[in-house]
Structure 1
Amino acid sequence: MVYGADEAVRLFVTQGVAATTAEDIASAAGVSTRTLWRYFRSKEECARPLLTAGMDLITERLRAHWRRGGSLAQTFANADDPGLLAAQHVAALRDLVRLGRDEPGLRAVWLETHFDADAVFAGVIAEGTGRSERDLAVRLEAGMLNTALGITVEDWALRPDDPTGPSLGESLAQALHVMAQLLDPETSAALGQKPMVHRPATDSRPGV
């Protein structure tokens, strides 16, 4: 349903969220309105697969890089560019995040998706480190990861358009490296990670 999410965001951008109907989204996605309502509770929810698809790919990449018994910092420090989504999905995701600044319904979808992701990331961390996903430390680590990724996606999406700037995948990889530095500076340094890059404290978001 990611393609349907692309179409929903395209309509939200061109027509406005308020003016876009479920029927519009269903028609653009090539499905019936009944099918649309079977999967989504609201028209804003139609955009959610863009968010969940990216998170699913991140968890798959973390699992692929995890060494059983290895530390969380080592796994983050070894993360490379996740190469997350196809170009059209990346563009739609950027539009979605930008729209969410002023559209409460879309912002709610963003927040709910991240709330659900806490449990997903806790499961991945527990699996990789041999701990229980109910362990408080595991849940805190999952929350840190989830927050870091959410902030990074927003930071990437709200930058002025610049084809020479870092990609979404590069931005997320950098966020994981920063997480590694925060969790275990010595491990990060031993693996050759560069120090965290500090950018000027200016707000360069569109319209600010």
Structure 2
Amino acid sequence: MPRPPMSAETLLEVSRRCAQVLARDGAGASTKTLVAASGLSERTFFRCFQTKAECIRPLLEDGYRRFVSEVSSRCGNGGDSSLLAVVTVAFAVAYAKDSAPDGELARLLVEAPAYRRIWLEINDDTAASLVEPLASALGVPTDSFEARIAADQATSLAVTAMRGIVRSGLSATDAANQAAEAIRRQPLLREKQTNTRGAAPKEGITP
């Protein structure tokens, strides 16, 4: 008789235990160490996770669900009128000190290819999940470019804020506020600056 699938709560707890090892040992954490920390047999471990890097997915999915849930609930209430403010506060709440990935673990997500791949996939899932609540808040169709840009910008804020946590040691609140301020300045709407100092000469032209 086949075993019943492991519950989401159990998988999350296993993922948390593996995350503690990864935060301590980094990308060099061995399969043997991760399996031991998981409390599972090696066979069961690889039944749950196709690769050792996959062991971090349930924890990351939990974080993205909290972020999406915060955005959705704040879009539906009468609080902040600015969606940028909604997303900024949602990130700060979802990744508060007791919920944010450990600094070393977050660094792994940003810098180690196998773990970064998982993180990027989660980011895509985040953007897809944010389309509906943001479209509703904007009063536009879910298949509109406006809704998708809003979802991508919200996800970009989260990604940029997470990098700020890793690279600058910022709190979730400070990182989210700095990312929001950068979005508010709308860099893509600025005129590009012409700066020829130190520029490489064009091919075929003698300086």
For this structure pair, what is the TM-score category when the shorter chain's length is used for normalisation?
Answer: 0.5 to 0.7
Partner SS, residue 82 of structure 2: helix
Deviations 1:135-171 (Å, cap 9, x if unpaired)? 11111111111112101111112225xxxxx522x13
When normalised by structure 1's length, the TM-score is 0.66
Counterpart residue number, 2:82: 74
Aligned: 1:103 with 2:117: no
Taking the TM superposition and a 5 Å limit, the aligned residue runs for 1:1-208 are 1-21=11-31, 23-67=32-76, 74-78=82-86, 80=89, 82-85=92-95, 87=97, 89-92=99-102, 94-160=103-169, 166-168=170-172, 170-171=173-174, 173-174=176-177, 177-178=180-181, 181=184
Q: Kindly state the Cα deviation for residue 116 of structure 1 after the two structures are TM-superposed.
A: 2.2
Q: Which runs of 5+ in 2 are unaligned?
A: 1-10, 187-207
Percent of residue pairs bearing the same amino acid type: 21
Q: Which runs of 5+ in 1 are unaligned?
A: 161-165, 184-208
Matches of 2:19 and 2:143, distance apart in 1: 36
Deviations 1:16-56 (Å, cap 9, x if unpaired)? 534510x5323313234344334322111211233222221
Conserved 8 A contact 2:67-2:94: yes
Matches of 1:128 and 1:32, distance apart in 2: 47
Amino acid at match of 2:30: T
Partner SS, residue 62 of structure 2: helix
Conserved 8 A contact 2:63-2:94: yes
Matches of 1:85 and 1:181, distance apart in 2: 21
Conserved 8 A contact 2:157-2:176: no
CA RMSD of aligned residues (A): 3.2
When normalised by structure 2's length, the TM-score is 0.66
Conserved 8 A contact 1:73-1:179: no
Aligned length, in residue pairs: 173
The alpha-carbon distance between structure 1 residues 33 and 129, as it changes in their structure 2 partners (threshold 3 A), is farther
Matches of 1:148 and 1:173, distance apart in 2: 7
Conserved 8 A contact 1:6-1:89: no
Conserved 8 A contact 1:76-1:179: no
